[in-house]
């Protein structure tokens, strides 16, 4: 009964301060407050942004950098050097026989750096090219036997790497993070090609106007 009263009181406090929000907003708010009481240690290194948006992006950015650093250790002794190389091989494996441009765009890479990476993978004997049957100007890519072995070897390392990064996070929290962030990834994965070459202020106006801000 006490737990029920606690929950009702928490809802009343929330609704008083956020009268336009609903149950889902309350649940997120309640979980965040609960996690804030449990968290220990300094939040982030360096300058802490004074705005919520900036702090969120800094946390995501630092996690990405840490992930890349640990990936270097995970791939030690394997044919791969960085997590982006694994992403390219995994894309080729999944798409079977993709065009170069498909691999580059799928992995959110610049054309020049993506082409360089694919050339390095080719020179190391992990992928090979073949001319498209219908358009002789196009090159398609496939994994070599060595590339398939590299995928097999590194997959378990990638899985262990992910486990390391979120080991202390409860499974429900991991699912919540996915749910909260997936729309950001979906939205900007669809927009980034269009935004390439645009001025930043034009991008800002377009994105914020989409939400009516």
Rounded CA-CA distance 206/112 in Å is 27
Would you state the structure tokens that stand for residue 203, as one six-digit string? Answer: 């991008």
Three-state DSSP class for residue 133: coil
Provide the pLDDT for residue 187.
92
For the chain, the residue count is 213
pTM equals 0.74
End-to-end CA distance of the chain: 43
Provide the pLDDT for residue 210.
64
Pair 86, 121: CB distance under 8 Å: no
Q: What 8-state DSSP symbol labels residue 47? A: P
What proportions of the chain, in percent to the nearest 5, are helix, strand and coil? 70, 5, 25
Provide the pLDDT for residue 41.
61
Provide the pLDDT for residue 151.
94
CB atoms closer than 10 angstroms to residue 194: 10
Residue with tokens 């791939």: 75
Rounded CA-CA distance 127/117 in Å is 11
Provide the pLDDT for residue 123.
96
Contacts of 103 (CB under 8 A, 6+ apart): 88, 91, 92, 95, 114, 118, 141
Provide the pLDDT for residue 74.
93
Three-state DSSP class for residue 30: helix
Provide the pLDDT for residue 1.
62
Walk along the chain (213 residues) and give the pLDDT tens digit of each residue: 677 877 777 777 877 877 777 787 777 777 777 766 665 566 667 777 888 899 999 999 999 999 999 999 999 999 999 999 999 999 999 998 999 999 999 999 999 999 999 999 999 999 999 888 888 888 899 999 999 999 999 999 999 999 999 998 888 888 888 988 999 999 999 998 899 889 999 999 999 886 555
């Amino acid at each position: 009964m006490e737990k029920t009263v606690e929950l009702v009181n928490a809802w009343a406090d929330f609704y008083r301060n956020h009268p336009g929000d609903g149950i889902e907003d309350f649940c997120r708010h309640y979980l965040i407050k609960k996690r804030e009481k449990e968290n220990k240690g300094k939040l982030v290194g360096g300058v802490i942004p004074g705005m919520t948006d900036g702090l969120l992006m800094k946390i995501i950015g630092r996690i990405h950098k840490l992930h890349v650093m640990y990936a270097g250790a995970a791939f030690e002794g394997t044919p791969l050097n960085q997590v982006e190389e694994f992403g390219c091989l995994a894309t080729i494996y999944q798409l079977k026989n993709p065009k170069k441009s498909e691999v580059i765009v799928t992995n959110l890479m610049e054309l020049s750096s993506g082409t360089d990476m694919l050339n390095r993978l080719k020179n190391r004997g992990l992928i090979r090219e073949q001319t498209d049957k219908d358009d002789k100007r196009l090159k398609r890519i496939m994994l070599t036997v060595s590339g398939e072995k590299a995928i097999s070897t590194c997959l378990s390392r990638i899985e262990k790497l992910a486990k390391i990064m979120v080991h202390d996070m409860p499974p429900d929290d991991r699912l919540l993070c996915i749910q909260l962030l997936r729309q950001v990834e979906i939205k900007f994965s669809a927009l980034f090609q269009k935004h390439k070459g645009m001025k930043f202020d034009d991008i800002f106006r377009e994105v914020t106007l989409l939400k009516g801000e």
